[in-house]
Structure 1
Amino acid sequence: MEEGDQIVIDQCENNFMVWKASHILELRKTYRIVGTCIGSLPWKPRQNVQNSIPLQLSKFEATYLISRNIAVLRNSNHYPKDLFSDERRVEMNQQRSVQRKAQIQVLQKQKSEELDALSGSILQGKIAKRIKLSSQSDKVEDENFETFKQSELNKTSLLNDDQMWVKMNVKSTLTTFLPTSEDVKSNLNDNESLQFDVFCDLHDQGFFVANGNKFGGHFLVYPDDPVSYHSFYIAFCVQRYKKMSGNEYSALGRLASSVKKTLLICSKSEGGHIEYLSMSWTGIAP
């Protein structure tokens, strides 16, 4: 990451996003923050196996980064109502016009290369078609590849705006006025505060901590980068004063065992320290 290039988290409603690729890489390599990429790849938009920017952070990941002064929060809920002036609309239309001309030039270049590669077969095909449809041999000699090529290239200029790609700025030029905030922990309720403290404690111990919803817990705990390792633990956060029944213990234990993980029941002691109770399901052989 470039010197002085501070990591910025954009908040919109209850979503926390990081848009800059270098920031996303820095968060993962240096701070062990995983998040979830939710954007589509430009060259493979119709699939969800691999996703691209932005990186969506959980509330706890964003709060951790902001409370440790690693990143600042920019609240996108504060856009003014008169954000787009008439001058700004004219400027945006001019930008789209420039983009349209540039895309037409690219399309024409690609089309020209494709036609040149198939010039021989195209011309032979047109001559054969003309002979089949007409017996006038003098018109057969009039077939000209360059004329046909130009007519095909002219079709690309007929594309309208709805058929054009719209270029989106990864970094908005309209967010410099948005306020930054560091007071996000105060927005957590009691259960979220416990989960945040557990997240911080596990993270400070060197683990990678990711969202655990898909396995029925609050967090998944990895020994290293999730790209290379499976998670070892499912962390389930419970208030110290809450009573859990035997059925609840059994359900959580079997859930963790079914996905080959150890259950961590996490709570906070009276002294404010995080305590862990691990549970794994073990069969007894006769």
Structure 2
Amino acid sequence: MSTLQALRDEYPDRIPLHIHDDQVFVWHPSDVERLRRDHAICGLMTGTLPLIPQQNVFLGLPLQLCHEEVAWLLRHGVGMLIVDAPAHRRATSQEIQEYWSAYRSDARRQRRETKKSRDATRRLFEAKLGRSEPVDSPTTPSTAADDQEDHDDDDDDDEAELEKIPYQHLTLGSSSDLPWFAPSLSQPGATAFLTLSSARQAGVFTFPRTEMDVATLCVFETLHSQGFYLGVGLRFGGQFTVYPGDPLRYHAHYSAAVSARPTSSISGLEMVASGRLGTAVKKSHLICSVDSPLSPSPAAAAAAAAAAAAASTAAESGPGAGEGDEEAQTKARIDEAVKAGRFDSTRQPWGKVGFFSLSWAGFGT
């Protein structure tokens, strides 16, 4: 039994999420089905056929998850984050020998099945033509030694023929069945993580990092808790596309844009553009305003703005120095809160969201 299977047995409610270079993937078809059916998490299929690298209509495994989906899965006790590269230990010589032995056995089995099928097809074809195999009558009686020699020659011919028959080679997409793929929860050197705080402390998964990250995560969890499915909103001018059900069955009703603070200003031009954009793509455009405990208080934000204005007038300070300090402080506050485990479960929400919908009622739309 592989180590990953042992982790699955120990944590049956957890789905392995494989992270590589800050991108998170799901490799097993049953896990993809479970995410979509039980948890309304769709992700994006990113796999293509090796011989059709520009295929972009029907994609396959792996399923790539956005950072908001990964954080939601960890906070709800559904995901198990696995760092792929260090989870592969050095294989022993016996494991390598067993792997190649199984590989050669599978190739031989495929070749024998192919030869058997070809022989059956040939005999059927010859029977339809009314032909039969010629039978050579021996002129001299054969001995046991002659029979054994003929049998050995037949085996050699059979092996030579088998070597010429092609077989199917399957490249494993996931390492889950390899014995030297050994993710572990044990510290130090853990390569599997069950919470946001443990992954953050190890430097494996550092989302959310900024105030906007917290805001998008808050909007995602709020809409998801109301039964909506969320997808990438780039095509419709927002952070998220919001569906009333499975995207395979429904069109999106909303495109959602996120504002990191309730005090953020929106110009009239931006409001008109948002309304017209929503009408153009036949969606209601949502402006989602987030009030998070991790964001600076209004008084602190005003003080930071005043400090930035004062600093911009000083010769030794460049414009926006105060804003940079505020951003750094916010990042440090978020990092400290996540590492402390404050947001490892849903008991602590990321904040409150206010929704505003815009539509442009003009020219019959």
Q: Is the aligned partner of 1:93 residue 2:100?
A: yes
Is 1:157 paired with 2:163?
A: yes
Q: 1:166 aligns with which of 163, 170, 176?
A: 170
CA distance in 2, matches of 1:75, 1:207: 30
1:235 aligns with 2:239: no
In structure 2, the residue matched to 1:28 is 36
**Aligned 8 A contact 1:112 1:153 in 2:** no
The correspondence of residues 23-102 of structure 1 with structure 2, limited to 5 A, is 23-40=31-48, 47-79=55-87, 83-102=90-109
The root-mean-square deviation of aligned C-alpha atoms, in Å, is 3.6
Contact 1:41–1:50 (Cα < 8 Å) also in 2 = no
**Which residue is 1:221 aligned to?**
242
The amino acid across from 2:110 in the alignment is Q
**What's the offset of the Cα at 1:158?**
1.6
1:267–1:275 contact (8 Å) kept in structure 2: yes
| 1:109–1:60 Cα change, 3 Å | farther
- Structure 1 residue runs of 4+, over 4 Å off? 1-4, 44-48, 151-156
- AA at the equivalent of 1:157: E
Task: Give 1:249's aligned amino acid.
Answer: M
Counterpart residue number, 2:360: 281
Structure 2 match to 1:104: 111
Deviation at 1:182, TM superposition (A): 1.2
Q: 1:8 aligned to 2:11?
A: no
The 5 Å alignment of 1:108-119 reads 108-116=115-123, 118-119=125-126
How many angstroms apart in 2 are the aligned matches of 1:70 and 1:13?
22
Rounded Cα–Cα distance in structure 1 between residues aligned with 2:273 and 2:266: 11
Gaps of 5+ in 1: 128-140, 143-150
SS in 2 for 1:157: helix
Mapping of residues 189-268 of structure 1, within 5 Å: 189-240=210-261, 241-268=263-290
How far does the alpha carbon of each residue in 1:176-225 deviate from its partner, in whole angstroms, 9 at most, with x for none?
33332412575312211111110000000111112222323211111111
Q: Is the radius of gyration larger for structure 1 or structure 2?
A: 2
Query: Shift of the alpha carbon at 1:264?
Result: 0.7
- The share of aligned pairs that are identical, in percent, is 27
Counting matched residue pairs gives 259
State the shift of 1:30 in Å.
1.6
SS of the aligned residue for 1:88 comes to: helix
Query: Cα offset for 1:61?
Result: 0.5
User: What are structure 2's unaligned runs of at least 5 residues?
Assistant: 1-7, 135-156, 185-190, 201-205, 294-350
The AA in structure 1 aligned to 2:195 is: E
Farther off after superposition, 172-181 or 18-27: 172-181
SS of 1:73 mapped into structure 2: strand
Q: Which amino acid aligns with 1:203?
A: H
Aligned to 1:182: 195
Rate the CA distance shift 1:275–1:228 in 2: closer, same or farther, 3 A: same
Residue type at the aligned position of 2:286: L
* Alpha-carbon separation, structure 2, partners of 1:98 and 1:77: 29
Cα distance change on mapping 1:83 and 1:3 into 2, 3 Å: closer
Taking structure 2 as the reference length, the TM-score comes to 0.60
Q: Secondary structure of the residue that 1:187 maps to in structure 2?
A: coil
1:46 CA drift (Å): 8.7
Q: Which amino acid aligns with 1:165?
A: H
Query: SS state of the match for residue 246, structure 2?
Result: coil
Counterpart secondary structure, 2:100: helix
Q: Structure 2 CA distance, aligned partners of 1:45 and 1:114?
A: 35
User: What code does the residue aligned with 1:94 have?
Assistant: S
3-state SS, counterpart of residue 90 of structure 2: coil
Shift of 1:230: 0.5
